[in-house]
Every structure is written in C-alpha cells, then in structure tokens.
Amino acid sequence: MARILRRVFLVLMLSAGIATAAQGRETPAADTAGTVLITGSDRGIGFELAKQYALRNWKVLATCRTPAHAQALAGLAASHPNVVIEELDVTDVGEIEALAAKYAGTSIDVLINNAGIFGDVESQSLEELDYDDFVRVMAVNAFGPLKVSQAFIDHVAASRQKKIVTITSGLASMTLTENVRQGFYFYRASKASVNIISRTLAAELRGRKILVGLFNPGVVDTGFGATGYAGPRLSPEQAATALVAFIEALNPDNAATMINHDGTAMPW
C-alpha cells in the first residue's frame, strides 16, 4: 500500500510540474494563427490592426518610428506576449534592412504597409509647393512601402498566406470625378505612386505566389491630414476591421486592385 501511495504521489507531483512549466512558457510560434508585420503601429489604424491581430492569436511584429513614445502600444504588448514592438522608420534604409536581417528565417504571412503621412496642407497648395515637404511625403508614402516590401520578400514568400498589403487613398484615383478639385498635390502623387508600385510588385512577385493588395480605408477619424473634410468618418476600429476582412479575402482575382473599405473595387 505504501508503495502504491508513493507512486500516486509521484504521478501527481510530476503532473503538477508539467502544468506549471506549461503555464510559464510563452505560446510557441507554431501555435499562433500566423505572423503579421505592421508599419506605423503606434496609433490610428496601425494600432487597431495590432490589437485585432493580437486578439486573433497572431504573432504581431508592431513597428513604429519611436517606440519610447508609443505608450498605448507598450500597454498592448504588456498584456499580449504575442505582440513584439520593433523600431522602424520606413524612410531609413539601414533600419529596414537591419530589421529584415534580424528576422531572417522568420515567415511573415501578412506584411501591412500602413505607415503614412499627409504632409502639410498649405505646403502642397499651388501657391506654396514646398519641395522639402514633397520629398518627405513621397519618401514615407511611396518609397517606404516599396523598400519594406523588398526587404521582407523572402520572409513573406516562406509563409503560408504570402500577402503584402498597402494602404492607399481614393484621392489617388485619376478616374473619380469628385477627386478633380484643388490641392493635396503631394499626398495624391504619393498614393498614386504607391498604387503603380504595388501593381508592379504584384506582377513581379506572381511567380512566387505572393499576393499584393491595395486598400482604401476612406476618411478615418485619426486626426490624419487636417483637410477640412466635414463628412462622415470611420473610426480606426471600423477601418481596421474592414482591412482585416479584406486581407482574409485577398486572392489572385482581387490582388493589385484598389479595394474600398466597403469591399468594392475602386477605379484608379
């Protein structure tokens, strides 16, 4: 009897030890739904994307230019161990390449080029046209997504989903009649540029089975671009929810097409 009791005790202790060890371990990458890298994750749509993917049990590589100032993102990472914050300025080639090297061998299912700026409204009016602001807007909104995509192509190609998605804008459309109005030269040019960049990427990466998507979130209540627009706005949560749904539905038929937040294709 004593021998049997000892065996029972040892089994119970061993089981308790295994349970404790399991509780202390982080969830391995294999147990996550996928891996997503998001640029500009510290506010607005980017932050909401990080939150929604974290809640969906994805591994989230949340990048932003100044992590020390990203208190909300830090709070999200503190409560969700599947969120990792990385410093990344999308205009800094060295930082982009260093981050890609850091994650060499890591599969990234979805790469979201979310970081963007509107630029100063006055500086891109016909009366002002500030060259330095033009270069800055183009660097963030056009070159940034291209360079980040290029640096992480192998990571995306090694994944299951193989998706690269970039945020664009209806203001870039050369077809929509309501866009034939004044101003916003730099922002329009940068988003029109990223549209053709994405279409070119889609053609070049088709052989590697990588899907490239373009998403227009519409006017979102983030304080992004004080354009004087007085119409309805989506909340960042609504825009991020629509974007996540778009990413899930991205396929060869709707890739390289500008898709609106309501799911409809938009003319370029």
Question: What would the pLDDT profile of 160-195 be if each residue is shown by its tens digit?
Answer: 999 999 999 999 998 875 655 678 999 999 999 999
The dihedral region occupied by 194, where left means phi > 0, alpha psi between -120 and 50, and beta the remainder, is alpha
Residue 183's closest CA among 125, 117, 118, 119? 125
Confidence of residue 227 (pLDDT cuts 50, 70, 90): low
Q: Does residue 5 carry a pLDDT above 90?
A: no
What is the model's pLDDT at position 224?
A: 55
What is the model's pLDDT at position 54?
A: 98
Share of the chain above pLDDT 70, in %: 84
**Residue 184 Cα distances to 151, 173, 196, 267, angstroms:** 30, 13, 19, 19
Could you please state the CATH topology (level 3) that the domain comprising 32-260 is classified under. Rossmann fold (3.40.50)
Distance CA 239, CA 232 (A): 13
pTM across the whole model = 0.86
Segment 12-35 mean pLDDT = 47
Structure tokens at 177: 């009649």
What is the model's pLDDT at position 174?
A: 87
Residue 246's closest CA among 193, 183, 167? 167
Domain ranges of the chain: 32-260
| Residue 110 near residue 37, CB atoms below 8 Å | yes
- 40-44, 205-209, 219-223: which has the minimum mean pLDDT? 219-223
- Give the relative orientation of helices 144-151 and 185-205 as an angle to the nearest 10 degrees: 20
What is the model's pLDDT at position 179?
A: 58
pLDDT digit string, tens, across residues 104-127: 999 999 999 999 999 999 999 999
Q: Does residue 201 carry a pLDDT above 80?
A: yes
Structure tokens at 134: 């033009």
Task: Annotate 32-65 with b (16+ C-beta within 10 A) or e (fewer).
Answer: bebbbbbbbbbbbbbbbbbbbbbeeebbbbbbbb
What is the model's pLDDT at position 184?
A: 92
Looking at every residue in the chain, the average pLDDT score rounds to: 87
Helix ranges (DSSP H) in the chain? 2-24, 44-55, 71-79, 93-102, 131-138, 144-151, 153-157, 185-205, 236-249
What is the model's pLDDT at position 222?
A: 75
Task: Annotate 147-182 with b (16+ C-beta within 10 A) or e (fewer).
Answer: bbbebbbebbeebebbbbbbbbbbbbbeeeeeeeee
